[in-house]
Structure 1
Amino acid sequence: MISTISKEVFGELPDGQTADLYTLTNANGMTVNITNYGGIITKLTAPDKNGEWADVVLGFDSLPPYLNGHPFFGALVGRFGNRIAKGKFKLNGQEYNLPINNGPNALHGGLKGFDKVIWKTTEIKKDSTVGLELTYTSKDGEEGYPGNLAVKVTYTLSNDNALLIEYSATTDKPTIINLTNHSYFNLSGLKRDILNHEMMIKADSMVAVDSTLIPTGKLRAVEGTPFDFRKPTVVGAGIDKTEDEQIKNGKGYDHCWVINRGTDKGLMHFATVTEPESGRIMEAYTTEPGVQFYTGNFLDGNLKGKNATYTKRFGLCLETEHYPDSPNQPQFPTTELKPGETYSSATMYKFSAK
């Protein structure tokens, strides 16, 4: 079997634009479906310990549910993933105001972020990989952000059952950027919630947040807390320990872990997720300094997806990123992008079973 890529019409937007759906298939039969609307991963299959393939990401079979408001299932998030306090930040002495769309804060790029636009696409076919390149130019002032930002995201599916996501961007004016993918994974094959998944995150600390999930500015050691995933730990074990203020603030896990990078600047293994019953394993790699581990705490059963109702904690996210509210926290790694510089980031999710 050889790797293939195919394209079909996914649906039409209210403004008449067409959304297409691309199916990437590798030599093993693993498939990833991606639409040019929001760069959304709508489907991703992975084998279990018996070699049975099943879809392991939350999403929908058709376009309309994606247009009617959803919690960023599978989407490309930008210009700035995660939260910015009160929708304000300063750059070179000038204050910028962003739409408030999450309590008192700005979240995931605004009212019409990168998850709600049509991207230009180019199919990529190589000997052992198949991929889809998406490009979008975010105009100066779009959603309140400065600078014309030219963005390129490439999804590459390889024959070792790995999906690589590479991001790059340039700007003509100083701006901020924090791109990520917001896939919700469920390695049971969407059969049950994610509370029995086992998680390992290489992180000695996490970003402490207030009740609106904005960083306090302090990093908190995970040792002795429900946030210690340095050894494989069942997700449900500490998720409701609300006597821990951080668990209470996130209504479970909705926090940024500080990856133990050391001097490693490359694509580094930082997390492993295992679903014991199916035997499915997902290893995650990134070049980013942090990862937002989110456990679907706000899913409430109102959304019905692919053969499943998306109830509370039915999916988990590993959103690789710079820390939330970085533009207002000078001690955090910078998210500023200047003219002449190129933003680059990469994340990979690799699937196996045992």
Structure 2
Amino acid sequence: MSIQKSTFGSIDGQPVEAFEIENGAIRATVITYAAALSRLFVPDREGRLADIVLGYDDVESYVRNRGSAGAICGRYANRIADATFTLDGQSYSLSTNEPPNHIHGGFASFSKRLWSGEADTANNAVRLTLNRPDGDEGYPGAVAASVTYRLTEDAALEIVMEATTDRPTVMNMAYHGYWNLGGHESGHIRDQLLLIDANRYTPVGPGKIPTGELASVAGTAFDFRSSRPIGAMIDDHAQLPDAGYDHNFCLDGDSGPLHRAARALDPVSGRGLEIWTNQPGVQFYTANHFGKAPATGKGGARYDKHAGFALETQNYPNAPNISHFPSAVLRPGETYRHAMRIPFFGVEPSRLR
């Protein structure tokens, strides 16, 4: 196990650092811009390594990164309707970076900031920190946020996001990485297999804002309770007008500290992962935006529509405005903690039949 530090580039004269972590089987690179996971090499069933996260080769491309590839989003990931919410009887107006709504924390959110990074060699981890003032993007409270990426000895990636505040606020940090288990440059993900541990999802209305309904997935294109190809029903529902998913699933959970959110598998390489979390929801997004504006990724790879899929564990979108959704309130003296554990595995062809 080791951690190597290098310079990835610079922004406004400030260096952007890269930390490479490896544990013998897996190799990850984290950059201090957006606290982004920029590379993740994982073996397939034959032991061949491939980089399975979408990303870019230079800082400038991350700055232009409309899809938040690999970034930590906050202070509130996902959407808040009409860019406003009320907390303790006081109304707060947020930046309208997706008019008339607010998304992923605003114009200069966590995913658009340069974080401070520090290697934790003893734990084979990298910890990044960010402080934001009261009133940032309209949110109340000065916030101290951190994210820790760690590679474990049993071939798993752990991501822990934490935050504290000096005034009551709302908090919903999320890791916004795009997975392609065949390799980031391997094309579309529609034939990769997905299971989501959710009996319900939150349908959306205009602006992709949840209606407040907790709808059953049974018998619909949102039923991933048994593993099936991502593209099997990708345009087979009124909620999927763009032939792609961008919806929150309400996780079933269990009594333990972490519950499984999803399991994904590439049948060609046999490379797979599971995502475990302590959060109530997961946003399943199939990189639909690349259909409108394809991007050039690492090594010149072309990212088109469905080039990857995101499984963003989270609180529900617009939870600050919907009383029966889980609370997103963070108060002084409390610590927000969002934990993810992502074990990787390889599957033999005989087990896919």
TM-score normalised to the size of structure 1? Answer: 0.95
Secondary structure of the residue aligned to 1:71 is: coil
1:116-131 to 2 correspondences below 5 Å: 116-126=112-122, 129-131=123-125
Counterparts of 1:178 and 1:199 in 2: how far apart (Å)?
24
- Stretches of structure 1 that go unaligned for 5 or more consecutive residues are none
Deviation at 1:68, TM superposition (A): 2.4
Aligned to 2:24: 27
Secondary structure of the residue aligned to 1:216 is: coil
Deviation at 1:63, TM superposition (A): 1.2
Partners of 2:20 and 2:27 within 8 A in 1? yes
Deviation at 1:41, TM superposition (A): 0.7
- Write the deviation string for residues 260-287 of structure 1: whole angstroms up to 9, x where unpaired: 014x251122211000001101111000
Counterparts of 2:152 and 2:96 in 1: how far apart (Å)?
39
Counterparts of 1:101 and 1:252 in 2: how far apart (Å)?
22
1:1-354 to 2 correspondences below 5 Å: 3-13=1-11, 15-28=12-25, 30-126=26-122, 129-190=123-184, 191-241=186-236, 244-248=237-241, 251-262=243-254, 264-300=255-291, 302-307=294-299, 308-354=301-347
Counterparts of 2:264 and 2:18 in 1: how far apart (Å)?
28
Counterparts of 1:215 and 1:335 in 2: how far apart (Å)?
15
Q: Which portions of structure 1, spanning 4 or more consecutive aligned residues, are displaced by more than 4 angstroms?
A: none
Deviation at 1:222, TM superposition (A): 0.2
Cα gap change, 1:336 to 1:251, in 2 (>3 Å): farther
**Given residue 321 of structure 2, which amino acid in structure 1 is its aligned partner?**
N
Counterparts of 2:250 and 2:315 in 1: how far apart (Å)?
9
Counterparts of 1:167 and 1:67 in 2: how far apart (Å)?
22
Secondary structure of the residue aligned to 2:201 is: strand
Secondary structure of the residue aligned to 2:19 is: strand
- Write the deviation string for residues 72-98 of structure 1: whole angstroms up to 9, x where unpaired: 000000000000001011111111111
- Stretches of structure 2 that go unaligned for 5 or more consecutive residues are 348-353
Deviation at 1:152, TM superposition (A): 1.7
Secondary structure of the residue aligned to 1:64 is: helix
Counterparts of 2:54 and 2:126 in 1: how far apart (Å)?
20
Secondary structure of the residue aligned to 2:239 is: helix
More divergent stretch after superposition (112-121 vs 222-231): 112-121
TM-score normalised to the size of structure 2? Answer: 0.95
**Given residue 313 of structure 1, which amino acid in structure 2 is its aligned partner?**
H
Counterparts of 2:324 and 2:161 in 1: how far apart (Å)?
24
Partners of 2:253 and 2:260 within 8 A in 1? no
Aligned to 2:350: none
**Given residue 84 of structure 1, which amino acid in structure 2 is its aligned partner?**
I
**Given residue 12 of structure 1, which amino acid in structure 2 is its aligned partner?**
S
**Given residue 76 of structure 1, which amino acid in structure 2 is its aligned partner?**
I
Deviation at 1:27, TM superposition (A): 2.3
Secondary structure of the residue aligned to 1:319 is: strand
Secondary structure of the residue aligned to 1:32 is: strand
Partners of 2:188 and 2:308 within 8 A in 1? yes
Cα gap change, 1:251 to 1:325, in 2 (>3 Å): farther
Cα gap change, 1:77 to 1:348, in 2 (>3 Å): same
Counterparts of 2:118 and 2:64 in 1: how far apart (Å)?
27
Cα gap change, 1:69 to 1:269, in 2 (>3 Å): closer
Pairs aligned (count): 344
**Given residue 49 of structure 1, which amino acid in structure 2 is its aligned partner?**
R
- Write the deviation string for residues 147-186 of structure 1: whole angstroms up to 9, x where unpaired: 0111121111112221101111111100000001000000
Counterparts of 1:72 and 1:160 in 2: how far apart (Å)?
28
